[in-house]
Amino acid sequence: MTNSKIKAGHGIKSDSPGLFPDSGVLSYLSTLQCSGCGTEYDYHEIHTFCPNCQSPLLSIYDLKKVRQQVDRDEISSRRKGMWRWHELLPVQDRENIVFLGEGDTALLRLSNFAEELGLTNLFVKDESTNPTGSFKARGLAAAVSKAKELGLKKVIIPTAGNAGGAMAAYAARAGIQAIIYMPKDTPRANIEESRIAGAEVVLVDGLISDAAGMAGERARTEGWFDLSTFKEPYRAEGKKIMGYELAETFNWELPEVILYPTGGGTGLVGMWKAFAELDELGWLANGNRPRMIAVQASGCAPVVKAFESGSTFCDFWLGAQTIASGLRVPKSFADQIILHDIRESNGLAIAVSDSEILEAQKKLGSNEGIFAAPEGAATVAALIKLIEQNQVGKDERIVCFNTGSGLKYLD
Amino acid sequence: MANNVLYIEDNPDNMMLVQRALEARGYRLLKAANGLDGVATAETEPVDLILLDINLPDIDGYEVARRLRSSRKRELNSVPIIAITANALKGDAEKALDAGCDVYMSKPINIRELWARVEAFVPMP
């Protein structure tokens, strides 16, 4: 069978010719803008974070043109995957897109579990079906593709686990060298998948914050490009597509509540950005946006502490400890944006214990057949608490995010 | 007026960034490029707050903090110290607090957070 005979949407997971349109504008990216001071930067150049105020940079698109030139409903008919939203992603040349099949994960209604909880509209967005088994594939697909476009040859990342595996996979496919710094007690699956993908893996006696310091130092001294959370502008763009997919699946009426496990916060910030873009594009049926619930582990809850104290930034969390390795982030580089977005959404931040996470993981498995990552199970544990606190309505549409597969946490 | 901030830091880029940020808010920045100079400056100049890098070329920031806390200049036993580090080693934050620092910040230094943390100890002039 030749490529010309392969029909779109038949599950071919390759960045081969024909996957994306041969003509037309691939991306409407117009500038990079500092989330702190508003300074703009040229996206044709390599950028990390704002040199003036050291805040994350965000990708800004010409949404006026998108509104004029892109048909929202035509996007739904495109071949499945994250890149069908390419106009709202940062890659300019289709040859630079590194595709492993990411995106368009299932939104599953949890009827059995909802009944037990007394809810009527409970869903899980199951990100475990992404390449490398977690939502990290989305962000790293975007970041590595853009790194390729910018001519970068070597990338480095500190990770609590899944981001490392994802970066290794996309870097391998892009022909880019990769180094990964991860805590030595990172789940074995993350270590092995990174090594199998050809990355150099450095195990660190510490937390992701320690790994970040060491990776940053090596990046500076040896010229590796640092793909740390929010220390480059594009991972959030891949993650934001979760928000576009949700809007589309809910027929352009966003759900009332989203529970999201929050470590570095890329997904939460990305989705909130997506909702703002969707609003500006006029693609939503109404102006209602979800309440964003940031879920953390009680053994590492800097966002919860800052949210409850009214602070606009987080204190570094001392002695971070939780089985949910993706939530073991003592302080996100994007803490100010996370807190801003939660508050703007009228949401909140909530912590759950490891035992509550394990209990929720069992409930999700036995009620619905979903083997969730501990981070994903944490959202369900948080939901149980929110119901007890009367923080969610019985008939509200509630979406919990399962960010990865429980199969990656077997050691 | 209490607005003297001493920054002990060997990285000139960070020094310039912090100088620009704090002087824009009306603070007076005193600078030291290593730990011993930092301690000496603190003992001879009026200082209302100290920003302290941990990875210094001579004595490390923990030792600087310990010397300041045991200084004969009694004001230094209680002057606010904000530790700033790239946390390249495990437990930097805990060690900084144990050595006598009041607050811990990680690099990169976010300017809005820096302003807020400085103002929490020394109100903007």
- Cα–Cα distance measured from residue A375 to residue A264, given in angstroms and rounded to the nearest whole number: 12
- Cα–Cα distance measured from residue A299 to residue A318, given in angstroms and rounded to the nearest whole number: 9
**What percent of chain A has a predicted confidence (pLDDT) above 90?**
87
| pLDDT of the residue at A281 | 98
Best CA proximity match to A400, nearest among A210, A256, A253, A196? A256
* A97 pLDDT more than 80: yes
| pLDDT of the residue at A25 | 85
Q: Are B104 and A54 an interchain contact pair (Cβ–Cβ within 8 Å)? A: no
- Beta strands, E only, chain B: 4-8, 28-32, 49-53, 81-85, 103-106
Instruction: Find the CB nearest A336 among B90, B97, B112.
Output: B112
A143-173 confidence digits (pLDDT tens): 999 999 999 999 999 998 899 999 999 999 9
Domains of chain A, by residue range, sit at: 106-134+234-409, 136-226
Q: What is the reported pTM?
A: 0.94
Which residues of chain A lie closer than 8 angstroms to B106, CB-CB? 209, 213, 316, 331
| pLDDT of the residue at B90 | 64
Q: What is the mean pLDDT of residues A395-404?
A: 98
What's chain A's average pLDDT?
93
B29-86 confidence digits (pLDDT tens): 999 999 999 999 999 999 999 999 999 999 999 999 999 999 999 999 999 999 998 7
Its CATH architecture, for the domain A106-134+234-409, is 3-Layer(aba) Sandwich (3.40)
* A16 pLDDT more than 60: no
| Cis peptide preceding B108, ω within 30 of 0 | yes
A106-134+234-409 and A136-226 share one fold: yes
Which residues of chain A lie closer than 8 angstroms to B99, CB-CB? none
Q: What is the mean pLDDT of residues A183-197?
A: 94
DSSP element (H, E) containing A351 = strand A348-352
Q: Are B88 and A213 an interchain contact pair (Cβ–Cβ within 8 Å)? A: yes
- For the domain made up of B4-115, give the CATH fold: Rossmann fold (3.40.50)
Contact (CB, 8 A) for A229 and A235: yes
**What percent of chain A has a predicted confidence (pLDDT) above 70?**
94
- For the domain made up of A136-226, give the CATH fold: Rossmann fold (3.40.50)
CA angle, residues A400, A404, A410, in degrees to nearest 5: 125
Instruction: Find the CB nearest A216 among B17, B86, B109.
Output: B86
For chain A, give the number of residues.
Answer: 411
Which residues of chain B lie closer than 8 angstroms to A37, CB-CB? 111
Which residues of chain A lie closer than 8 angstroms to B116, CB-CB? 312-313
User: Higher model confidence: residue A2 or residue A237?
Assistant: A237
Amino acid of residue A112 = N
**Best residue in A37, A54, A214 for a mutation probing chain B (most B CBs within 10 Å):** A54
Which residues of chain B lie closer than 8 angstroms to A206, CB-CB? 89-91
- Cα–Cα distance measured from residue A322 to residue A328, given in angstroms and rounded to the nearest whole number: 6
A283-317 confidence digits (pLDDT tens): 999 999 999 999 999 999 999 999 999 999 999 99
* A87 pLDDT more than 60: yes
User: Is A210 in CB contact (< 8 Å) with chain B?
Assistant: yes
- Cα–Cα distance measured from residue A296 to residue A301, given in angstroms and rounded to the nearest whole number: 5
Query: Which chain B residue has its CA at the smallest distance from A336's CA?
Result: B113
| pLDDT of the residue at A5 | 36
A198-234 confidence digits (pLDDT tens): 999 999 988 887 888 889 889 989 999 999 999 999 9
| pLDDT of the residue at B91 | 77
* A23 pLDDT more than 80: no
B78-117 confidence digits (pLDDT tens): 999 999 987 655 678 889 999 999 999 988 999 999 999 9
- Cα–Cα distance measured from residue B92 to residue B20, given in angstroms and rounded to the nearest whole number: 27
- Cα–Cα distance measured from residue A17 to residue A365, given in angstroms and rounded to the nearest whole number: 39
Q: Are B108 and A217 an interchain contact pair (Cβ–Cβ within 8 Å)? A: no
* Strand, coil or helix: B59: coil
Which residues are CB-contacts of A143 (< 8 A; sequence separation ≥ 6)? A167, A170, A227, A232, A234, A235, A238
Which residues of chain B lie closer than 8 angstroms to A319, CB-CB? 94
- What ipTM is given for this predicted complex? 0.92
Q: Chain B closest CA to A304's CA: distance in Å?
A: 17
| pLDDT of the residue at A361 | 98
The residue whose two tokens read 């900084």 is B96
DSSP state of A317: P
Q: Are A54 and B111 an interchain contact pair (Cβ–Cβ within 8 Å)? A: yes
| Cα B113 from chain centre | 14
Q: Are B91 and A206 an interchain contact pair (Cβ–Cβ within 8 Å)? A: yes
Instruction: Find the CB nearest B110 among A53, A210, A213.
Output: A53
